[in-house]
Copies of this chain bind each other. A is one copy, B any other.
Amino acid sequence: MKLDFSSIFTPKNVAVIGVSPNFMKWGAIIAANIFIGGYKEKLFLVNPRHKRIYGIRSFPSIKDIRGTIDLVYVALPSKKIFNVLEECGEAGVKSCVVIAGGFSEIGSDGRDLERDVLKIANKYKIQIIGPNTMGICNPRHNFYGLMPPINPMPGNIGFISQSGNLGTQLMSLGEIQGIGFSKFVSSGNEIMLRTEDYLEYLGQDPDTEVILCYIEGLRDGKKFLDVAKKITPHKPIIVYKAGKTAAGSKAAQSHTGSVAGSWEITKSMFRQARIIEAGTSLELLDLAKAFSKMPPLKGKRVGILSWGGGWAVVCADHLMQVGLEVPPLSKEAIESLNKILPPYWSKSNPIDLVGTLDRRNQLNSLRILFESGMDGIVVLGVLTGLAFENFKKYQEIVNIPDAELQALIKEFEKTDMRFVKNIKKLVDIGHKPIVAVALSSEEVQEEYKKQIVIYSQPETAANILSKMYQYYQNKLKK
């Protein structure tokens, strides 16, 4: 059966079966989330026991809705869904998101239920997403058919997650970090549509430029790799593989019913397919951020610009440890920097700005470093948000007129933003990555995070640059 993803990711209409007036039930929450997300097409509610729910008409059955329904959410317990699926089939529904758990992840009883669901789906050619899923979203379509109430920003990252909670929480974190998504699916137990199918689709999707996957186990590992190999020369695929150990693998089985293979074999197959492996779950986001916003690191030479010495040492160490280089500065660069930095500046790479508060000199130092033949740059601590709140505290003690203080704060905000814009410009024009590190990144303005790539520790910046370098090298090889 030829798969049709438009009914899933850009549905013309959506129905939720199992909506209840009790707002603490999943059906109610999903319907509310679709509303709140601003879905512009048609949403239908189905519940035979009510005429209206939340002031909206409620249909007794999916069959009472006129026209074909693209996507139906079934928010009912596992044993109650068979009749409903039959009705969906008779009504010509194209795709069904089956929310309920209680299938293969609980053992043989659940596996029997899954088989029955699949039988009905095949009979009526309904595409099944899940079961045991938290739903789908497409931010560019304003479609947020998810269990948790989140509305990720539109962006160029496609995300397939075999865990609903992990996937949606990462997207929620992504929003704080300024990352946007093209499509997301919580693939659940994958009794019909599988990670490898979604991957194939995202590989061709023009809105998706980077693909993220959280995988516990693959039903068709060979297909996954074949599909991945075709995609990775054009789009990076970033994978976090769970179920690497006995305990993790057992947990995965009772989570999505998936069986994990040997991690060592999987790892080497990933490498062959040029898949980028995330070392930790949150590194999925760190990598996505870099690949979705920046050109790759094409060589090993990394320059460091730091507002303080300690972080520069940590960063230099870590860059070396992950196989990159922190080469000396050219004579020309040193001479140029001598003209603008205090006499006791480091005179080497890393460039320590030794507490220089002059914003223009900070920026000019970055420019000199960027143009000195480095393949990429890490900027440390310059955007740590100069704690404006504290300026106000000074006022209690120190005699600064209000206007002067306001002007000072404004000036800092302005120069911060100029710094951010200049980083973005350098990256775009120079086709080389610049990553910033702001340790209190919680205090960094949201706008900055949208414009450039900011991490909260130097080690992360080094790791990500190293994986960018490897990806590019692998691409060149074949």
Residues of A that sit less than 8 Å from B by CB: 23-24, 26, 28, 32, 35-36, 54-55, 78, 101-102, 105-106, 110, 147-150, 161-167, 169-170, 172-173, 176, 214, 216, 240, 242-248, 250-252, 254-256, 280-282, 304, 307-314, 316-321, 325-326, 343-344, 346-348, 350, 352, 354-355, 357, 381, 384, 387, 390, 393-394, 396-400, 439-440, 442, 456-459
Contact = CB atoms under 8 A, between A and B. Distances in A.
28 contacts: A23-B398, A36-B390, A54-B397, A101-B355, A106-B343, A106-B344, A148-B387, A163-B309, A164-B310, A165-B381, A167-B310, A169-B311, A169-B384, A169-B439, A173-B440, A240-B314, A247-B320, A247-B325, A248-B313, A250-B348, A251-B304, A251-B346, A251-B348, A252-B313, A254-B346, A254-B348, A255-B309, A281-B314
A311 B346 contact: no
Contacts of A456: 282
A169 B443 CA distance: 12
Nearest to A148: B387
A163 to B, nearest CB: 2
A343 B457 CA distance: 43
A161 B400 CA distance: 33
Contact of A459 (B26, B55, B281): B281
A283 to B, nearest CB: 9
Contact of A319 (B247, B255, B311): B247
A135 to B, nearest CB: 13
Contacts of A161: 310
Given A166-B311, A396-B36, A282 B244 contact: no
A46 to B, nearest CB: 17
Contacts of A54: 397-399
Contacts of A308: 163-166, 169
Q: For A148, A280, A281, which residue has the most chain B Cβ atoms within 10 angstroms?
A: A281
Given A23-B398, A54-B398, A167-B310, 7 more contacts: A36-B397, A101-B354, A101-B355, A102-B343, A106-B347, A169-B384, A247-B316
B165 A307 contact: yes
B101 A313 contact: no
A310 B255 contact: yes
A313 B24 contact: no
Given A280-B457, A310-B255, A399-B54, A101 B394 contact: no
Contact of A310 (B242, B344, B355, B381): B242
Interface centre among A250, A314, A347 (most CB of B within 10 A): A314
A319 to B, nearest CB: 7
A51 to B, nearest CB: 14
Nearest 3 interchain pairs by C-beta? A163-B310, A165-B308, A166-B310
Contact of A163 (B24, B311, B326, B357): B311
Nearest to A327: B247
